[in-house]
Structure formats: structure tokens, C-alpha cells
Amino acid sequence: MTGPTTGNNARRDFYERIGTLSMAPLWESLHQLVPPAPAPKYQAASWDYDKVRPFLMESGSLITAKEAVRRVLILENPAMPGSACITPTLYAGLQLILPGEVAPSHRHTQSALRFIVEGEGAYTAVDGERTIMREGDFVITPTWTWHDHGNDSSRPMVWLDGLDIPLVAMFNAGFAEAGAEDEQEVTAPEGTSDAKYASGLLPVDWKPAKQTSPIFNYPYSRTREALAGLAKAGPPDACHGYKLRYVNPASGGAPIATMGTFMQLLPKGFESAPYRSTDGTVFSIVEGEGESTIGDKVFAWKKRDHFVVPSWAKVVHRPASESVLFSFSDRPVQERLDLWREDRGGR
């Protein structure tokens, strides 16, 4: 009769022999490959803007926007050092452009969002049309579109960059190309996209060529007005307060195919019910101050701070004053694949 030791030796020998054929036994790793619930290998983290901003400004004296191509300090998840990721599917960073600078034109298959954190008056150009950016604006640069940034104002401009870099890398679908000139030729008057697509109407014969939104600037003034209107219309949602999602007006879907973007209003004194979902989410504080409990950790926040909530981590928000939070996640991808799940009890 074969004993346990002999059996273990036989298995080890078997594993070594099938290893020569680049094979492995599923039963040794099944529980890790098919877990009973999400077990993220990254963690909740926050970035205090008062501590981050001096380093951003110092970077402006070390390298120009042109030399850097994009002068950005990456918000890297502390559990994933060296990965340049804030979650396994998302990249986030804070970009600085100083007065008079131009971040040169280029394009890439990675889709990008810009959420304006500080300043007013700089522009971004997307496929020949410029838009002026202000605090709280949400701007997209869809996949494979030419884009450059310039600052004609007298103050530094800082925005949050969110990209699907890890997702594109997973598919090995990354391409990039530098523009012939630092600034692309302007071929459409400012406001063209708004005039065509942002009024709840569409040009009669227009048909979308891509999944991304034809609007590339969603101004904060409109978003804030919509939140205020929602707050007058009824009580807050127990988990989210008053929360809206940005949409592609042509489809009703997300403005960017790979990233969902949201804005929520938390009334003063409101405490959200425990909530968790499978999409790891990055937050940027637009207004107010408060704290969020993520798992067993408490993170205090105020205007311009940032934090990340991992997949399936329970979160509770407690605003000390009326607060507005922008966020983005990979929810559209998960929904398309029928993977997205939420728990409104957080147990």
C-alpha cells in the first residue's frame, strides 16, 4: 500500500515530468484561479494634495512639458510598486502644465480622461478642435485621436489623468505615434462638438464611427447644475447620495468604452450605507471635506485630494460639509462582460 510520503513523492515526480511539456496540475492552484470572492492584490490608498502639490511644482523646474512629453507624477498603488498602476486595470497621474508651455501632439490606442483639479484657461486639442479647461471639467481624449495641451493662462494647470494603460497592455494592443508639430492644426472652431452633440439633439444624418463620445469636454458648470437639480427632486440614495454618470449622447453608454466616469453630491451630515462593487474606483474631491472608511481604514479628504477604493472593498462616506466627488472605474468593461456586481449592504 502506498503511504502519504510515497504518494507526495509520486505527485512531485509527476509534476516535474509534465512540467517539461509546459503543463501544470489545475488542482494545485484551482482555489487561487477561481476564488469564492474577489481578493484584490492592491490596497486602498489616498494622496493629500497639499503634500503632493509642492512636488508637482518642483517637477516643473526639473523638466519641461515638451521634454517630458507629458509631465505627470503617477499615483501608484502602494501594494503595486513599480507597476505605474493605481489598480490592475487603471492608470492615474497628476499632470502639470505651466504658463506658456505646450505638451506636444501625439496619439495612442490607450484612451484617456482629464479631470481638471487646479487652474483655468489652459486648452486641450482633440483631432483639430480646442476646448478651454476649467476646474471640475471632465475632458476625454478617445483612442487614437491626436491631442495636445497648452497653457495660455498666467497660472499653473493641474489635472488628473486616467487611462486604460493596463487593460491595453493586457491585450498587447498598444500603438503610439508622435505628431509632426507640437501643436496640431486647428481645423474646427471652439465649441463645434458642443454645438453638434451637447444639446440633446444630433445632426440628422450623423452616425457614430466609434464607441466613444463625440463630446470631449463635459463642463463642471453643467454637471453641478444637474446635481443641484437632482438634489431638489428627491431624497439621496442611501449608498451614493446624489450620483450621476457621464454618458455618450449617441448611445447612452460611457463616454469612453473602457472607463466609466461619475459625479456625486454628498449632503452635509449624510453618511452613506456600506457599499461595495467589483470595479476598483479612483476618486477626486471637487468640493467639500470629510472622510471615507474603506475596509477597516479611515481616509480623511478635502478639495483636490484623491483616493482609491479596491474591488469589493466596503466603503462608507461621511462628508463634514456638502461635498462633490468625481470618480472613474473600469465598470463599462465589466458590464460588457457580465462580470460587474455590487453589494448595497456591504456585509
H helices within the chain, ranges in order?
4-19, 30-33, 49-62, 65-68, 165-170, 192-197, 220-233, 331-336
Per-domain residue ranges of the chain: 4-33, 45-343
Query: Exposed, middle or buried by CB within 10 Å (0-12, 13-18, 19+), for 332?
Result: buried
Predicted pLDDT of residue 59: 98
| Assigned superfamily of 45-343 | Jelly Rolls (2.60.120.10)
Q: Please, are residues 167 and 235 in contact by the beta-carbon 8 Å criterion?
A: no
**317 Cβ contact partners less than 8 Å away, ≥ 6 residues apart:** 241, 266, 270, 271, 272, 290, 291, 292, 325
Closest CA to 124 of 93, 97, 143: 97
**Percentage, residues of the chain above pLDDT 90:** 96
Predicted pLDDT of residue 1: 47
Check whether 193 has a pLDDT greater than 80.
yes
Q: Residue 150, SS3?
A: strand
Check whether 346 has a pLDDT greater than 80.
no
Mean predicted confidence (pLDDT) in 135-140: 98
Q: Please, are residues 277 and 343 in contact by the beta-carbon 8 Å criterion?
A: yes
Check whether 320 has a pLDDT greater than 70.
yes
Predicted pLDDT of residue 347: 52
CB atoms within 10 A of CB 263: 24
Mean predicted confidence (pLDDT) in 119-128: 96
Angle at 227 between CA 254 and CA 224, to 5 degrees: 90
Check whether 181 has a pLDDT greater than 80.
yes
Check whether 4 has a pLDDT greater than 60.
no
Check whether 18 has a pLDDT greater than 90.
yes
Output the pTM of the full model. 0.95
Handedness of CA 49, 52, 54, 57 (dihedral sign): negative
Mean predicted confidence (pLDDT) in 238-249: 98
Mean pLDDT rounded to a whole number for the chain: 96
Give residue 6's pLDDT band: very low, low, confident or very high (50, 70, 90).
Answer: low
Give residue 345's pLDDT band: very low, low, confident or very high (50, 70, 90).
Answer: confident
Check whether 151 has a pLDDT greater than 50.
yes
Predicted pLDDT of residue 209: 86
Between 87 and 209, where is the model more confident? 87
Predicted pLDDT of residue 160: 98
